[in-house]
A = this chain, B = another copy of it.
């Protein structure tokens, strides 16, 4: 039997190799032609990559074959434990934080540096976007960036 690796282990290696080489998430996203947040989430183990995408990432970050293979596997998603709200409409928002929260964090740090989106100097809007396959709910979160400043 050859070696194998979990998606979580692969994600840690990808993050370390990316950091070591000074390659941005955005560059990785562009290399595989995918949106930024989707790419980060996928490389964090929340989405499966295609064989071609995983190969591209593997060549850029000089990953072992076992890491590349792990990127293609079907994920068991989510990062939050316990305390989920039971109402399905609210749960979907919680699921977004669980699946995409770490990716949003990385995207914020890459764009703004070390800090947060304020939830106090903050506003949000819920809108309807018509779509031929069914209208869409568009929720916009808009908060001031606050950098860690001692």
- Which residue numbers of A lie inside 8 Å of B, CB to CB? 1-2, 4-6, 12-13, 16-17, 19-20, 35-38, 47-48, 62-64, 67, 69, 72-102, 104-109, 111-112, 114-126, 128-129, 131, 133-150
Contacts of A47 in B (CB 8 A): 114, 148
As for how many copies of this chain the complex holds, the number is 10
Q: List 8 A-B contacts (CB under 8 A).
A: A1-B63, A78-B85, A83-B83, A89-B105, A107-B126, A117-B136, A136-B144, A139-B140
Is there an interface contact between A92 and B118, defined as CB atoms closer than 8 Å?
yes
Q: How far is the CB of A66 from chain B (nearest CB, A)?
A: 9
What is the predominant secondary structure among interface residues of chain A facing chain B?
Answer: mixed
